[in-house]
Amino acid sequence: MIRISAPSSAPLPLLAAAMLGLAVISFAAVPAQAQRAPAAKPASAKPAAAGGQGQALLLETAGKWQAFSSQQGRSKICYALSKAETRIPANLKDVEGLLFISSRPGEGVRNEISLVMNFDLKEDVEHQAIIGSDRFALVAKGQNVWLKNPAEEGRMLDALRKGSGLEIKGTSKRGNPTSDKYSLAGISQIVKRAEDACK
């Protein structure tokens, strides 16, 4: 089970995510200047199931990706989710990185890219997403990571759809370099499934 503390200033939970269908993780939106970033709240051990308020419904699986939808009150959230296949350094192997591509139609948010690293990162440095020859600057708040420039989300999503792998290079709060690698197999199909569920 993953447990992550949300900032005390975070608004009410807006997003519920299932970690690959095993456990439900609730997220709250954390504004950071112009960017939008999810900050996770403590996880519950409930399995993902249909019809439950705030529970994530598994829609489809393809490759290393899964599509989910969740209803929180009047707010519907749909997202593609994958977990990191490898992580360096080895002492962080017991906590998994998660990559989300989320849509929240009630807020006008479509295909927002974010990560939950499940360890604290340095907040005063740039981190990087590498997809083939493309590089994107990332920023962190606690254990959450998102694009430094939200205007690049479309370009990054295109690169994700065309690529075979993603590497997230970061710096932990203690100053240690980190690397998470994700497979992009199945991402196009799953992102479309999540998009269609939130039309």
What Rg, from alpha-carbon coordinates, does the chain have? 15
What are the φ and ψ backbone dihedral angles of 21, each rounded to 5 degrees? Answer: 80, 5
pLDDT, residue 74, reads 83
Q: Which helix (H) or strand (E) holds 116?
A: strand 109-116
Using DSSP bridges, classify how beta strands 86-88 and 98-104 pair: parallel, antiparallel or unpaired: unpaired
Cα 62 from Cα 178, distance rounded (Å): 27
pLDDT, residue 54, reads 65
Picking from 16-25, 45-54, 102-111, 156-165, which range would have the lowest pLDDT averaged per residue? 16-25
- Average pLDDT of the residues in 173-177: 93
pLDDT in tens, 58-93: 999 999 999 999 998 888 999 999 999 999 998 877
Q: 15-197 belongs to which homologous superfamily?
A: Invasion associated locus B (IalB) protein (2.60.40.1880)
pLDDT, residue 179, reads 96
Which has the higher per-residue pLDDT, 8 or 74? 74
Q: How many residues does the chain have?
A: 199
